[in-house]
Amino acid sequence: MSNGETSRFVRLHVELVMEVTDADRLTRAALDRIDDDPSLPDDERRRSQEAVTEDPAEALAHLIDPFDLVSAVPGTELAQASWSSEGLTDYDPDAEWDATEWELADGAAAEV
């Protein structure tokens, strides 16, 4: 912001790579979460159950909630969140991962 003001809103970019070490356990946990959600309509519940059964990335997306990640941060309130997951078939854990710079809207780089 060029006028010296700072916004009270901050966009936080987080990228995680998770290893699924027990797909059955992950799927069961996601199914339990879906079953325990009283706000899900039956048709959405069935679609969610199918999705998490077919794809561990979908199961993980049902278990990770951005609100849970930031709800304990003092002096903040989550204004908006979106997230997704994808299977990484070509991921090499030994390859160098360059997640040290992200391009910001004003062209500045953020160091991680």
For the chain (112 residues), the mean pLDDT of every run of 10, in chain order, is 71 87 97 96 97 95 89 93 84 76 48 38
- Alpha helices (H) in 36-78, listed in sequence order: 42-54, 56-63, 66-70
CA distance 40 to 36: 9
Residue 4 belongs to a domain: no
Amino acid 101: pLDDT: 52
Residue 111 belongs to a domain: no
Range of the domain at 65: 24-73
Amino acid 75: pLDDT: 94
Residue 10 belongs to a domain: no
What is the number of structural domains in the chain?
A: 1
Amino acid 30: pLDDT: 97
Residue 103 belongs to a domain: no
Amino acid 91: pLDDT: 82
Amino acid 100: pLDDT: 57
Residue 60 belongs to a domain: yes
Residue 64 belongs to a domain: yes
Residue 33 belongs to a domain: yes
Amino acid 3: pLDDT: 53
Give the Cβ contact number of residue 49 at 10 Å.
Answer: 17
Residue 11 belongs to a domain: no
